[in-house]
Amino acid sequence: MKRIVIFASGSGTNAENIIKFFHNRDHASVIQVLTNNPHAKVLDRCKKLKVSALSFNRIAFMQTHDVLNILKSSNPDLIVLAGFLWKFPEAILNEFPDKVINIHPALLPKYGGKGMYGMHVHEAVVANKETESGITIHYVNENYDEGTIIFQGKCDVLSSDSAEDVASKIHELEMEYFPKVIDKLLND
């Protein structure tokens, strides 16, 4: 059985979608969700879905090996960042090479980097009159949004679209493709 650990910072819709996707699979499951936000809605979602969830602070993540030790004891086959907003420490990346992936709400390399997340991305896409946007699933390295791209899914952006309209289209792509890409990575 392949083991998935998810990191999330917010509402956890992607985390919930992934948990449900793997719920009745015999080859993989989400064993734990970790969050840097003790008030994140993802914690409530995990409770309802009966998945172990823990919150941690910046010291446990960046300055000590507390989170790294939790991961070592969980021994995940894949670490999935699903709306996780902090830069990942090199100590964790070194311990789990090519096992940490992220989803970004744009077609990287466009609209990536520090501060480019959520509505900030969609507002920039609309402001720059882009005709398409999408999602990028990529490996995580020591720089924001610069790891090797695994998958991109695209959607049209109409001249009449608001940032909220783009966000809705991106969310649909995330819900459709993120679990499938994770599944394919675990099976390859």
Is residue 117 domain-resident? no
Q: Which residues touch 39 (CB under 8 Å, ≥6 apart)?
A: none
Is residue 182 domain-resident? yes
Is residue 55 domain-resident? yes
- Active-site residue, 39 included: no
The mean of the pLDDT values for the chain is 96
Q: Residue 108: is it exposed, middle or buried by C-beta count within 10 angstroms (0-12/13-18/19+)? A: buried
Is residue 120 domain-resident? no
Confidence of residue 45 (pLDDT cuts 50, 70, 90): very high
158-187 pLDDT per residue, tens:
999 999 999 999 999 999 999 999 999 999
79-124 pLDDT per residue, tens:
999 999 899 999 999 999 999 999 999 999 999 998 899 999 999 9
Domain tally for the chain? 1
Is residue 68 domain-resident? yes
Is residue 125 domain-resident? no
CATH code at position 30: 3.40.50.170
Spatial distance between the Cα atoms of 43 and 48, rounded to a whole number of angstroms? 9
Buried b / exposed e across 172-183, counting CB within 10 Å, b at 16+?
Answer: ebbeebbbebbb
Instruction: Indicate if the pLDDT at residue 4 is higher than 90.
Output: yes
Confidence of residue 24 (pLDDT cuts 50, 70, 90): confident
Is residue 48 domain-resident? yes
What pLDDT, on the 0 to 100 scale, is given for residue 116?
Answer: 93
Spatial distance between the Cα atoms of 69 and 91, rounded to a whole number of angstroms? 11
Q: Which of 65, 104, 138, 171 is catalytic?
A: 104
Q: Sign (positive/negative) of CA torsion 40, 41, 47, 50?
A: negative
pTM of full prediction above 0.85: yes
Q: What percentage of the chain reaches a pLDDT higher than 90? A: 96
Is residue 160 domain-resident? no
The domain in which residue 25 lies consists of 2-104+135-152+177-187
